Structure 1
Amino acid sequence: MNLDNILSITGKPGLYQLKSKAKSGFVVESLLDNKTSIVGISHNVSVLKDISIYTYSQEMPLKEVFKKIATKESNGPAINHKGSKKELESYFNEVLPDYDEDRVYASDIKKVLQWYNLLQGNDLLGSLEEE
């Protein structure tokens, strides 16, 4: 999997795979329901490759966090992102013990776990090691 082609779009649920660029924006496919749509250039789009998690020593790329979760779960799914704040923080502390608790919020942890489970459920995590 190449995180260059996986997008998070503000205001839209889940993750999207970039299919192609269009005049007015991007053609994307939802990883939730496999529907194709066009996203205008006015939308706030984040590429997963560019996202990092704050730790006390450095910023850790999301890809590395996904690898740590995959190792902990033997490449299986992570806990449900709808768990309680305490459960999520405890789980994330096991995965990434030095994450900056003042700068990484429960909502960020929810997104990371939801994204991991979406990618894992769509069989897109297998090639993280190959990149």
Structure 2
Amino acid sequence: MSLQKILAISGKPGLFELKLQTRTGFVAESLLDGKKITVGMRSNVSLLSEIAVYTYNEEIKLAEVFKAIATKENDGPTAISHKEDNSVLVTYFREVLPEFDEERVYPSDIKKIINWYNMLQPKGIVSVESLSKELKEAESEKPAE
């Protein structure tokens, strides 16, 4: 499983794995409890592979942020919870991604990223090795400019 098939659905807690596309939407399975749900085309859905984090120079793919967290934590869960105080979250995130744009990346975004990482980490999706491979594949699929 890779970030290419992991979804965040607004209004629904947790993350979902894309299982099947249908004419009217798709079927996704919750990574929290394994329940399958159908999602219509009108739902606000984000693929984790398409999410990026603002820095002062550019936007960095979420996979690269996850890789930085995995490197810092030696492929283990984060040292802090996503429920920590905002100042603790920002300090931790600055250690992981020192150049993140503090005006455009909110503490709520950091909470989500840490929560998502801790949800995906036990499943082996956000290990340094798997993310390196995924980023390399994404780079090779990019059309030449």
Fold similarity call, TM over 0.5: yes
Gap regions ≥5 residues in structure 2: 135-145
- Per-residue CA deviation, residues 70-108 of structure 1 (Å, 9 max, x unaligned), is 000000001210100011000000000010000000000
Structure 1's consecutive aligned runs of 4 or more residues displaced over 4 angstroms after TM superposition are none
- Using the size of structure 2 for normalisation, the TM-score is 0.87
Amino acid at match of 1:7: L
Q: CA deviation at 1:39?
A: 0.8
Larger helix share, 1 or 2 = 2
The aligned runs of 1:68-83 (5 Å cut-off) are 68-78=68-78, 79-83=80-84
The alignment yields a C-alpha RMSD, in angstroms, of 1.0
The two structures have a TM-score, normalised by structure 1, of: 0.96
* 1:16–1:31 Cα contact (<8 Å) kept: yes
- Which residue pairs with 2:126 in the alignment? 125
Alpha-carbon separation, structure 2, partners of 1:125 and 1:95: 14
Q: Which has the higher contact order (CA 8 A, sep 6+)?
A: 1
Structure 1 residue matching 2:132: 3-state secondary structure: coil
Report what 1:10 is aligned to.
10
Partner of residue 143, structure 2: none
Percent identical among aligned pairs is 55
Tell me the secondary structure at the aligned position of residue 128 of structure 1: helix
Residue aligning to 2:101: 100
Task: Return the offset for 1:121.
Answer: 2.2
Residue 58 of structure 1 corresponds to 58
- Amino acid of the residue matched to residue 116 of structure 1? Y
Asked if structure 1 preserves the Cα contact closer than 8 Å seen for 2:3 and 2:125, the reply is: no
Whether the 8 Å CA contact 1:31–1:122 is kept in 2: the answer is no
How far off its partner does 1:59 sit?
A: 0.4
- Offset at residue 40 of structure 1 (A): 1.0
SS at match of 2:49: helix
Q: Report the Cα distance in structure 2 between the residues aligned to 1:32 and 1:80, rounded to whole angstroms.
A: 17
